[in-house]
Structure 1
Amino acid sequence: MTNLPCHLFLLLLLNSLFLYKTIALSPDGLALLAFKSAVSNDPQSSLATWNENDADPCHWPGISCANVTGFSYPRVVGLAVAQRNLTGYIPSELGSLLFLRRLNLHGNNLSGTVPSDLANASSLHSLFLYGNSLTGPFPSALCNLPRLQNLDLSFNSLSGAIPLDLRNCRQLQRLLLSHNNFFGKIPSGVWPEMTGLVQLDLSSNQLNGSIPPDFGQLTSLGGTLNLSHNHFSGEIPAELGKLPSTVSLDLRFNDLTGEIPQSGSLANQGPTAFLNNPGLCGFPLQIICQNQPPPAPPINQTPAPPVQSVSQKKGLRTNLIILISIADAAGVALIGIAMVYIYWKIKDRDNEWCVCSSKGKPGAGGGMCTWCVNGGVNMESTDGEEEEDGEGKEGELVAMDKGFRFELDELLRSSAYVLGKGGKGIVYKVVVGSGIPVAVRRLGGGGGGDTGGQQRYKEFAAEAQAIGRVRHPNVVRLRAFYWSQDEKLLISDFIPNGNLATALRGRSGHPKLPWSNRLKIAKGVARGLAHLHDCNQRKYVHGDIKPSNILLDGECNPHISDFGLNNLVSITGNTTDMPPFLGPQSSLAGSALPSMKKSSGSFEKPSPYLAPEARVPGARPTQKWDVYSFGLVLMELLTGKPPELASPSTSSGLQIPGLEHVPELVRWVKKGFEDGRPLAEMLDPAVLHESHVKKEVISTFHVALACTDGDPEQRPRMKTVSDNLDKLGS
C-alpha cells in the first residue's frame, strides 16, 4: 500500500505528458486538421502527411507560413490544395486562421455552402473556390473582409439572386461568378460602390432583366466584361460607352433588343460581342434597324393648289418635261464620266507601287501605304490586264509591279549570304547591282515540267500575285517570284535589323528593348494583323505569328514576315528534305547564291506559339489562331520569358479539358494575376525601372490575357486589340 501514491504520481505524470503531446500542435494546425477531417475522399493522398503530432503545420504540403510579430510560432498565411479531387466540404474552422491571406481549393469536388465564418479570417485577400460543387446563395458575409481583392466562385452550383449586399465588397478587384445558377435581376446601386473592380464575369447564369446602366461606372475595369449566356433583355444602355476603351464586351446569347448604341467604347466593339441576340440591330452587326414610318402630315395644313386654266396646265407640264429631260441627260453623262474616271484610277493604282517613310509620308522606307489591291490568296485573277507586270511564264522572274525592276541575271550575279534556313526554305540576303538589298527565299525544286507541274505553276503564280498585292507598312512585301522545274524563289523586301526573338534575348553590345519600343512593336504587329484579317473585306489568316517572324527595321518598326508562305510551300509539293541549291541540272548554274543542304529526315517541331486548338489534326485555320499567337508574343514582350517555361509534366494551374497544349507562360501569367503576385515578379527586369509605365503594362497584360483565352470565341478581334493598344501611351 505504501507504493500506491508513487504509482498514482507516475500515472498522473504520464497522462500529463500525453496531454502535452496532443496539444503541442499550434491552433492553426488544429484548424487545418478540421479541414482534413471534413475531407471524405483524398484519392491522391494530398493530406496524408498532415500529422497531429507535429509542432506546427508549416512543412505540410499546400501550407505556407510566416513569422508574425507578437507570436512565438509561425502563423499560416496560405492554404493551396487545388486540383486534388478532394471530396468533402469546407469547415467553418478555417475562419479561425486569422493571418490566412490566400485560400485556394479550386478544381476539387467540395460540396455544401461557403461558410460565413470565413469572414473571420480578416487577412484573407484571395479566395479561389472555382471548379467545385458548392451550393447555396452568394456568401455576402465575405464582403466584410477588409482586404479581399480576388473572389472566384465560378464553375459551381451556387444559386439565388445577386444580393444588394455585394456593394459592400468595395475592395474587390476581381469577381468571377460564371457558370453557376444565379437568377433574377441585378439590383441597381451595386457597381458604383466597386470602384476598384478590374475583372467581372457573370456569364453562364440565369440572370434576367435589363443590364444595369451603372455598369458604365466601373472605370477601373479591364479585359472583358462578360455577361454572355444569360437572359438579359431590353436595350443595351448607352452608359456602357463610358467603360474604359480597353474593355471588351461579351453580350452574346441573351435576349437584348433594339439598336446598338454608338457611344464611347461601345463603338469599338466587334460583332462577336453582340451575337445570338435576335432582337439587336445596327453596327457592327449586319442587321439593319427597321426605321419607323414618317408621321402623316397634319390634316388641313396643306394649302389647295390654285385653279389654273387648261392652257396654263398644258404649258407648265411641257416646260417641266423639257427641264426634267435635260437634267436626266446631264446626270447620266456625269455618272458615265465618273465611272470612266474611277475605272482608270483603279487601273493605274493596280499598276503602281509606293515606298513610304516611317514617319508616315511617301518616301523611302515602309510607311502609311495601307491599301491592299483586290485579290485573294486563294483566288486566281480573271482579268488578264489587272497586273500586267504580274504576268509571266515558267522560267521567268515575275515582278509584281512596275516599281520593282531588275533582271534574273542581275540577281544571280549579285553577292549573297545566308540569313537562315528552316522547313520552309533557305533565306538569303542579296544586294543587286543598284545597291538595293532584297531577301530571297529558295523553296527548292520539283513540281515543274509535266502537266501537273504546269498546273502547279498557275496556282503558285496566282497565289504569289495575290500575296504581293497585300500592302501595309507592318507586313513584309513580296516583290517578285521565280518558278522553274528545278527552283522556286520568292523575292521580298529586306528588313535590316533582325527579328524580335533576337531583340528580346539581347545581342552582344546591345541593351534589351525598353518599354517604349516594346509597345511600339506590339502596336505595329497588331495593326498589320488587323489589316490582314480584313484586307478589302477578305479574311486572311497568317497562321504562324511568332517573334522570329516579326522583323525590325532601323527605327524598331515591326514587319510581319512569311504571310502566305505555308500555301506557297504546299503548292510546290516539297518536303523539308531539300536538295542543294545548285545542282547539275539547275537552270541557275553559275549563280552567286550559296548552297546549303538540309539534313535528311529533319523536321520542324510545332511552333510553341500555336493556339491549343491549332494543334488538333485536321483543324481548319481561323483568325482566332493569330489572336492567340499574338497574345503569347505580348506576354513575351512583357515578361521576357518564352512560351514554354517548363515541361508539360511540371505545368501547374488550371487544366483545360481537351486543350492540353496550353503554353506554360499563359498558365504562369494567369496564376500570377489570380494570386495577386506583385508586378515586379512578372515583368521583364529590363523594364522594371520604368515605373511610370505601370498602367500601360497592366493594360497590356489584360489584352494579352484576353487574346489567350482558352475559348476561341471569347478572344477579341485583332481590330479591337489594335484599337485598344493604340490608345496606350498616346
Structure 2
Amino acid sequence: MATDFALSFLQLLVIVTIPSISLSLTPDGLSLLALKSAVDQSSSDSDISVFSDWNENDTDPCRWTGIACMNVSKFSDPRVVGIAIAERNLRAYIPSELGSLVYLRRLNLHGNRFYGSIPDQLFNASSLHSIFLYSNNLSGPLPPSLCHLPRLQNLDLSQNSFSGPLPSDLGNCHQLQRFILSHNKVSGHLPTGIWPQLLSLVELDLSSNEFSGSIPSDLGELQSLSGTLNLSFNHFSGTIPSSLGKLPAAVSFDLRNNNLSGEIPQDGTFANQAPTAFRGNPSLCGFPLQKPCRTTNSPQTAQNNSGSTSNSKSKKGLKPGLIILISAADALGVAFIGLIIVYVYWKKKDSNKGCSCTGKSKFGGSDKGMSKFCPCSCLKGLPSNDSEVESDNGAGNGAEGQLVPIDKGFSFELDELLRASAYVLGKSGLGIVYKVVLGNGIPVAVRRLGEGGGQRYKEFAAEIQAIGRVKHPNIVRLRAYYWAPDEKLLISDFISNGSLNSALRGRTGQPSANLTWSTRLRIVKESARGLAHLHECSPRKFVHAEIKPSNILLDNDFHPYISDFGLNRLISITGSDPSSSGGLLGGALPYIKPTQPDRPNNYRAPEARIPGARPTQKWDVYSFGVVLMELLTGKSPETSSTTSPSPTTSSAAAAAAEIPDLVRWVGKGFEEQKPLSEMVDPMLLKEAHAKKEVLAVFHVALACTEPDPEIRPRMKTVSENLDKIGT
C-alpha cells in the first residue's frame, strides 16, 4: 500500500515538475500544428513565413497568422473559427486533424500546391460553411461525405485535378449557395433529381470538365440562381432543355464548346442570351446564332421555288442604252452630294470665328490668358465624344488650357464659368468642390483636382473618358473637364439636397424626419443598382473604394446618386495637392483651408486597412453593408479604440481588429437574438408593418460585412436581393 502511494506521488511529481509542450497549447492549436507539419519545409519557392509566429509554446493559436478565433460561449476559451492561408505557394497535404476543429467555419487554402485527396475526416468539422481550395493540385474523387456538413454554403474546388463522377447525394447540401468546380477532370453524366433540392444555390460553375450526356431538365428549377449558369467546355450532347427558360431573367448561360445540337429554345430566359453563350456547338441552330435551322420543304413549296426560278430565267437582261443612262445619273448624283458637303464644311469653318483644327483655341474678350472652348472635334490631344484620345506635343499636353465637353448638348465657355457665382460645398482629400451657377441659371458642381501631372495628359484624358461613359440614373454624371498644366477641373451635375450623411446626421445629429422606412428602402435599392452598374457594366468595371454616406448624394425627392468614383486615380495622375491655391483658376474661385484633418473612413473593409492593399469590388460591398447598418440602426460606425493590435500582430489580424463597432454590435445582437426593437432606429419603430423588411435588409447587411471577402456576395446579387424586399 505504501509502495503504491509512493509510486502515485512520484508520477504526479513528474507531471508537475517536467514542462510539457503539449499540455500548454489548446487542442485546437495542436490540430493546427498538424497543418504546419504537413507543409514541405524544404520547398525553395514556398512562402513558409506564414508559420513564423505559430509557436507551440503559446497557450492558444488565436494570434497566429491566418487564424481567426471567437468565444463561442461566455464560459469557454476562444475557439478557432477561421483558417486563411492563401496564395503562399505552399506544397503540402491536407491533414485529417483539421476535422477536429468542431467550431471551424471558414477554410481558405487557395492559391497553394496542396496535393492528394481531401480526407473524409475533414467533414467532421460540422460548423464549416465555406471551403475555398481552388488553385491547388488536389486530386482523386470528390469526397462522398461532402454534404454531411449541414451548414455548407460556399464550396470552391476549381482549378484542381479532381476526377470521377459528381456525388449523387449533392442534393443533401440544402444550404449550398455557391458550387464552383471549373477546370477539373470530373466526368460522367450530371445526376438528375438533385437540383430541385438546392433551393439556395445562386452560383453553379461546372465548366472545363469532362461531363458528358444530356443536360438535366430539372436544372431549370434552380430558382435562386443568379449570374451565370456555366456548363461550357465539356462534352454535353443532345438538345438544350427548354426548361432552362424558367430560370430567373437575370441568369445568363454559358454553354460554349460542347456537342449540343438542335434548335435553341426561344422561351423565357433564352430571349436574353447573347450568341456567345452557344458558340462552339456546330450542330446548334436558331436565334441568337446566325444559323437558321433547316426546314423540310413540301412538294408544293419545291414546285413554287422551281417555278420562280424558271420565271427568273425567262426575264430578259437590261438593254445597254438603259445601263449607260443609269450610270450617268449616278455620277451626277454623287457630284451634287459632294458640292453640298464642301459648302457645309466652309460654312461651318466661317461660323467658328477663327477656331481652327490645329490644336490651338481662340483667346477672346477681356479675359486675357483664359482659353475659350473651341468646338472643333478634330483638335489633337482633345477627346471628342466619339473619338479616341490622341497626344501631341502642343495641345496634347494642354499647353494653353482646354475646356472639353463630355456630354453632347452640354457646353459653355470658360469665361462663363469664371464669371459665375460660386461658393464652396466642401473640402476633402479628393479636392475642393464648388457650386457654380451658370449664366443660364443651371447649377453645376466643379471639383478642383490640382496643378500637377502636366506631362500625363493622355493618361488623364483616358481616365476621364472612361468615367464620362458611365451613365446610370443613380450615378452623378460628369459633363465636362478643364485641363491645363496648372489647373484641372471636373464639371458634373449638381445634386440639390446634400448627402445621405447630412440627412442621417444634419445639424441636430439625428436623422431627418423625411427618412421614413419607405424612403430608406428606396435609397438602398437605388444606391445598390448604381454601385452594381459601376462594378458590372461600366467600361472599366470600376472599384469605388470610398463608399460612405457622404458620397451618396440625394435630390429633392430623396433619390440617391453615387459620386466621386474614379477620383483617386485622377488625383494620383495630377500628383499634387488639390487644395493648393495656385493655378489659372486659383484666384477665380473661393478657396478654404481645412480646419481639421479628414476623419478616418470607418466604412472600409478589414482587408482595406492593410498597408499597400489593392482595392477590390468586395471593399465596396463591405462598405455598402456598413451603410445599410447605419440606415437601419441610426448609429455611426465608429472604429473601436479599446483594442489596439500589438507590434507583433500580423497585418491581417491588425486589420480584423479594426472592424467598426457597429458591425460588431449588430453581429452580436443577432447571435444573442436580441429583440429587433433594441437594434433599429427608434424612428422606424413607428412603422410596424416594416418589421419583416427591416429584418431582410439586416440579413443583406450581415452578408455584405462578412470578414472574409471571398464569402461576400457580388454587388449585383446584393442589388437583386434588395429589390425583392417589399415587392
Between the aligned partners of 1:221 and 1:264, the Cα distance in structure 2 is 16
Counterpart among 397, 401, 425 of residue 419 in structure 1: 425
| Alignment CA distance shift 1:506-1:235 (3 Å) | farther
1:628 maps to 2:628: no
Note if contact 1:424-1:576 (Cα within 8 Å) is conserved in structure 2: no
Alpha-carbon distance, 1:492 to partner: 1.9
Note if contact 1:580-1:597 (Cα within 8 Å) is conserved in structure 2: no
Alpha-carbon distance, 1:427 to partner: 0.8
Give the 3-state SS of the residue equivalent to 1:520 in structure 2: helix
Alpha-carbon distance, 1:221 to partner: 1.3
| Alignment CA distance shift 1:669-1:610 (3 Å) | closer
Matched ranges for 1:459-478 at <5 A: 468=468, 470-478=470-478
Counterpart among 721, 726, 729 of residue 723 in structure 2: 726
| Alignment CA distance shift 1:703-1:476 (3 Å) | same
Give the 3-state SS of the residue equivalent to 1:268 in structure 2: coil
Counterpart among 668, 680, 686 of residue 686 in structure 1: 680
| Paired AA for residue 594 in structure 1 | P
Deviation string 1:218-268 (CA, Å, 9 cap, x unpaired) is 454155445567544445544333224464457478635468775244653
Segments of 5+ residues of structure 2 without an aligned counterpart are 17-21, 38-52, 61-67, 86-90, 265-272, 286-291, 338-376, 388-397, 631-635
Note if contact 2:71-2:77 (Cα within 8 Å) is conserved in structure 1: yes
| Alignment CA distance shift 1:245-1:175 (3 Å) | closer
Q: Which residue of 2 aligns with 1:186?
A: 166
Between the aligned partners of 1:700 and 1:160, the Cα distance in structure 2 is 37
| Paired AA for residue 263 in structure 1 | G
Q: Percent identity?
A: 32
Deviation string 1:122-158 (CA, Å, 9 cap, x unpaired) is xx7866676599967535995xx9xx56455664979
Q: Which residue of 1 aligns with 2:590?
A: 594
Q: Which residue of 2 aligns with 1:438?
A: 444
1:317 maps to 2:314: yes
Between the aligned partners of 2:232 and 2:312, the Cα distance in structure 1 is 64
Q: How many residues are treated as equivalent by the alignment?
A: 579
Deviation string 1:583-622 (CA, Å, 9 cap, x unpaired) is 7xx5775x4x3123589x99999994698699869x8xxx
| Alignment CA distance shift 1:235-1:463 (3 Å) | same
Give the 3-state SS of the residue equivalent to 2:95 in structure 1: strand
| Paired AA for residue 627 in structure 1 | Q
Between the aligned partners of 1:672 and 1:229, the Cα distance in structure 2 is 41
Matched ranges for 1:571-586 at <5 A: 573=574, 575-576=576-577, 579-580=580-581, 586=584
Between the aligned partners of 2:29 and 2:629, the Cα distance in structure 1 is 38
Counterpart among 375, 379, 383 of residue 380 in structure 1: 383
| Paired AA for residue 692 in structure 1 | K
Q: Which residue of 1 aligns with 2:552?
A: 550
Note if contact 2:180-2:206 (Cα within 8 Å) is conserved in structure 1: yes
| Alignment CA distance shift 1:213-1:406 (3 Å) | same
Alpha-carbon distance, 1:208 to partner: 2.7
Give the 3-state SS of the residue equivalent to 2:444 in structure 1: strand
| Paired AA for residue 523 in structure 1 | K
TM superposition score normalised by structure 1: 0.57
Between the aligned partners of 1:30 and 1:381, the Cα distance in structure 2 is 73
RMSD over aligned Cα atoms = 6.6
Deviation string 1:149-172 (CA, Å, 9 cap, x unpaired) is 645566497955543x767x4954
Alpha-carbon distance, 1:551 to partner: 2.0
Matched ranges for 1:287-298 at <5 A: 288=279, 289-290=281-282, 291=284, 297=296
Alpha-carbon distance, 1:472 to partner: 2.6
Note if contact 1:221-1:247 (Cα within 8 Å) is conserved in structure 2: no
Deviation string 1:528-562 (CA, Å, 9 cap, x unpaired) is 34545676x94463654522433222333221223
Note if contact 2:117-2:141 (Cα within 8 Å) is conserved in structure 1: no
Matched ranges for 1:294-373 at <5 A: 297=296, 317-318=314-315
Note if contact 1:232-1:254 (Cα within 8 Å) is conserved in structure 2: no
Counterpart among 519, 526, 529 of residue 527 in structure 1: 529
Matched ranges for 1:15-30 at <5 A: none
Counterpart among 245, 257, 260 of residue 263 in structure 1: 245
| Alignment CA distance shift 1:208-1:594 (3 Å) | same
Alpha-carbon distance, 1:294 to partner: 5.7
Between the aligned partners of 1:706 and 1:35, the Cα distance in structure 2 is 21
Relative contact order (alpha carbons < 8 A, sep ≥ 6): 1 or 2 greater?
Answer: 1
Between the aligned partners of 1:691 and 1:651, the Cα distance in structure 2 is 45
Note if contact 1:170-1:196 (Cα within 8 Å) is conserved in structure 2: no
Q: Which residue of 2 aligns with 1:496?
A: 496
Matched ranges for 1:615-654 at <5 A: 627-640=617-630, 649=645
Note if contact 1:428-1:441 (Cα within 8 Å) is conserved in structure 2: yes
| Paired AA for residue 497 in structure 1 | N
Deviation string 1:639-693 (CA, Å, 9 cap, x unpaired) is 447697688947999998xx99789559998999999946769999336966413
1:210 maps to 2:189: yes
Give the 3-state SS of the residue equivalent to 2:553 in structure 1: strand
Segments of 5+ residues of structure 1 without an aligned counterpart are 1-7, 51-60, 68-73, 86-106, 341-373, 385-391, 620-624
| Alignment CA distance shift 1:542-1:226 (3 Å) | closer
| Paired AA for residue 95 in structure 2 | S
| Paired AA for residue 441 in structure 1 | R
Between the aligned partners of 2:638 and 2:654, the Cα distance in structure 1 is 14
Deviation string 1:360-418 (CA, Å, 9 cap, x unpaired) is xxxxxxxxxxxxxx99xx9934979xxxxxxx995676666686576655544544332
Q: Which residue of 2 aligns with 1:560?
A: 562
Give the 3-state SS of the residue equivalent to 1:508 in structure 2: coil
Matched ranges for 1:155-194 at <5 A: 155=133, 160-163=141-144, 169=148, 171-172=150-151, 174=153, 176=155, 178=157, 183-188=163-168, 190-191=170-171, 193-194=172-173
Note if contact 1:150-1:674 (Cα within 8 Å) is conserved in structure 2: no
Deviation string 1:507-542 (CA, Å, 9 cap, x unpaired) is 62532867655553443334334545676x944636
Give the 3-state SS of the residue equivalent to 2:187 in structure 1: strand
| Alignment CA distance shift 1:63-1:723 (3 Å) | closer
Between the aligned partners of 1:598 and 1:563, the Cα distance in structure 2 is 22
Between the aligned partners of 1:700 and 1:420, the Cα distance in structure 2 is 29
Between the aligned partners of 1:470 and 1:127, the Cα distance in structure 2 is 39
| Alignment CA distance shift 1:203-1:496 (3 Å) | same
Q: Which residue of 2 aligns with 1:361?
A: none
Matched ranges for 1:143-162 at <5 A: 150=128, 155=133, 160-162=141-143
Between the aligned partners of 1:652 and 1:679, the Cα distance in structure 2 is 35
| Alignment CA distance shift 1:567-1:240 (3 Å) | same
| Alignment CA distance shift 1:81-1:12 (3 Å) | farther
| Alignment CA distance shift 1:637-1:529 (3 Å) | closer
Note if contact 1:532-1:541 (Cα within 8 Å) is conserved in structure 2: yes
TM superposition score normalised by structure 2: 0.57
Matched ranges for 1:697-708 at <5 A: 697-699=698-700, 701-702=702-703, 708=709
Q: Which residue of 2 aligns with 1:479?
A: 479
Deviation string 1:188-237 (CA, Å, 9 cap, x unpaired) is 3541x554545656677654323334453245415544556754444554
Between the aligned partners of 2:650 and 2:511, the Cα distance in structure 1 is 36
| Paired AA for residue 555 in structure 1 | D
